[in-house]
Structure 1
Amino acid sequence: MQSSVPAKPAPTVEVYDFRRPTTLAREHSRVLELAFETFARQWGTQLTAKVRVISQVTSEQVLMQTYDDYAASLPATTAMVLCALEDISGKAVIQFPTSAALAWVTHMLGGSGNDRIPERKFTQVEQALISRLMEDALEDLRYSLGSLLTTPIALDSIHYNSQFAQAAATNDLMIVASFEIRVGESTAPATVAFPAEVLLAQLRDAFPMSSGANARSLIEAHLAQLPVEVSLQFAPMAVTPREVLGLAVGDVLPLPHPQHRPLDVAIGSQPLAHAAIGANGSRLAGVIVTTEEKSR
């Protein structure tokens, strides 16, 4: 007889390279957050001066992810300003909606910038004005990142499709900062992304993490402080399902534990010692009488 139950699919296993972590260390993340918060303030001031409308840029998040994941998180049509990095194959990215940038240009040319603008490519004049804004943004980035950005950076090109821009290889790690840009009454999301190798080297030098040499001792010290649940256990007894289902208030379960035998002290199912029942003030307690030696 053949069973019609479908076979369970094989579990998928995601490979993780511990030598190439995809998350930022807490100390490094905080340093980058402070740097990008400074950049946000500088960028907001620059936009206010150039667009001639009160502007504010807010830093929202800093994370590390692959370029493929970063590109997939962006709208299909958007402005991707690629910035060349000396001696680095990957490029930095400043990304924002084209409609937001066109509204900035409208303000710069004396318009209100309140009309709905569709996402589209820039004209030559628009691209020239936006490139000047991006040059100013790069100056703010250099100032804000300071010693973290030792590689010369310059504007390279502007793309309009996030899937075809190819600022880096698919699996290359990027440090991505997310922002909200408010110009007048309009808001728009934006991101700034750097190849991780550009910033991580300086972060490791300035804020070194623990070396692998003392990793074992650090783990052991941490494990020694973890709370674990300890229980005092009687010897177990075997019962049938019928007896379990028939239990009622007042029933007595005759345990096979001798009256004068100490209780087992256990963590989970692992016995560690034996204890007699005692008291600690108004609470019951276990008084250790013997311990079990365990090989390490």
Structure 2
Amino acid sequence: MTETLPAPEVYDFARPSTLAREHARVLELAFETFARQWGTQLTAKVRAVSQVTCEQVEMTTYDEYAASLPALTGMVLLPIAGIAPKGVLQVPLDAALTWVSHALGASRPLPTPDRTFTPIEQALVRKIVEDALDDLRYSFGGLLTHEVATGGFQFNSQFAQAAQKGDLMIVASFAIRVGDRVAPGTLALPAEALLPQLGEDTSSVTAADAKALLDAQLAAVPVGVSLRFAPATVLPARVLGLAVGDVLPLPHPQHRPLTIAVDGEPVGTAAVGANGSRLAGIVVTTTTEQHA
């Protein structure tokens, strides 16, 4: 009977950490609560019926997050006390300008030119973000123990220096509906600000630690081991003519050990023995001894 091996899991060396399922669910619930609170807050601030829906939560590097954003977009940096990487609240420029026009009393969204914010618009957007941070603190509770503030504005996603390229970020994607208009938005928070409360350590792994971890993982991967006779060469006609009861002579001397193969690769030799009521292979030599 052939043993079924577990399906292999893909390991991305460019992204050495992933969220555990139970941790991902806790974060999803927190971001969903924040989305509902923020939607209510937007309705009051911009004087238009608003709804925010959390669509996805993932962990990625800051470099990958920044590369996923439009080149020109609205980014509010969020300094976090005691942590070097900053958070980022990102929304399209035209969407934010639409919110501003609603907040100033426009019954319908005005045409939004492709430009950055004026000082007045920055002040209005900053107030919206500050209120959103109040909702964030309420929604995350004990998950977010560091103080989060509203920092400066950035409009070019490739030049916003919120974190180092390899810093891990928890990124939530939202669909933000204000009136009849729906716009995408994201909130990125440094993983080191959230994961310790979930029981995960995001400290960096040295090269020596990485090698030890990889060796330990490889040592735990199940492999197929077989004992092989020396192969016999026969003509195709002989194979096609095989019938029950035929005898195929093998060019393997009785005194010669069998070859130990791991996934088809020879690693040593073994004699035929027994282990209780089962056949077994008694290791005679290994590949290291043979090369010595």
TM-score by length of 1: 0.68
Residue equivalent to 2:151: 156
Task: Give secondary structure in 2 for the equivalent of 1:111.
Answer: coil
Question: Which one of 80, 84, 105 corresponds to residue 75 of structure 2?
Answer: 80
Query: Does structure 1 residue 52 correspond to structure 2 residue 47?
Result: yes
Task: Give secondary structure in 2 for the equivalent of 1:90.
Answer: strand
Residue equivalent to 2:127: 132
The 2-side partners of 1:73 and 1:176 are apart by 11
RMSD of aligned residue pairs (Cα, Å): 4.0
Alignment of 1:1-296 (within 5 A): 16=13, 21-108=16-103, 109-113=105-109, 116-204=111-199, 236-239=231-234, 243-244=235-236, 250=241, 254-256=248-250, 268-269=263-264, 288-289=278-279, 292=282
Task: Give secondary structure in 2 for the equivalent of 1:22.
Answer: coil
Task: Give secondary structure in 1 for the equivalent of 2:45.
Answer: helix
Is the 2:42–2:50 Cα contact (8 Å) retained in structure 1?
Answer: yes
Aligned pair in 2 of structure 1 residues 294, 172: CA closer, same or farther (>3 Å)?
Answer: farther
Task: Give secondary structure in 1 for the equivalent of 2:78.
Answer: strand
**CA positional deviation for 1:77:** 0.6
What number of residue pairs does the alignment pair up? 250
Is the 1:97–1:119 Cα contact (8 Å) retained in structure 2?
Answer: no
The 1-side partners of 2:51 and 2:138 are apart by 18
**CA positional deviation for 1:288:** 4.2
> CA deviation digits over 1:117-169, x for unaligned, max 9?
23311122222221111111101111111111111111111111111221112
Is the 1:273–1:288 Cα contact (8 Å) retained in structure 2?
Answer: no
The 1-side partners of 2:162 and 2:280 are apart by 66
The 1-side partners of 2:284 and 2:146 are apart by 55
Counterpart amino acid of residue 60 in structure 2: Q
The 2-side partners of 1:74 and 1:289 are apart by 61
**CA positional deviation for 1:229:** 7.4
Task: Give secondary structure in 1 for the equivalent of 2:102.
Answer: helix
TM-score by length of 2: 0.69
The 1-side partners of 2:73 and 2:165 are apart by 19
> CA deviation digits over 1:94-117, x for unaligned, max 9?
00101011111222222312x552
The 2-side partners of 1:112 and 1:143 are apart by 32
Task: Give secondary structure in 2 for the equivalent of 1:153.
Answer: coil
Counterpart amino acid of residue 107 in structure 2: G
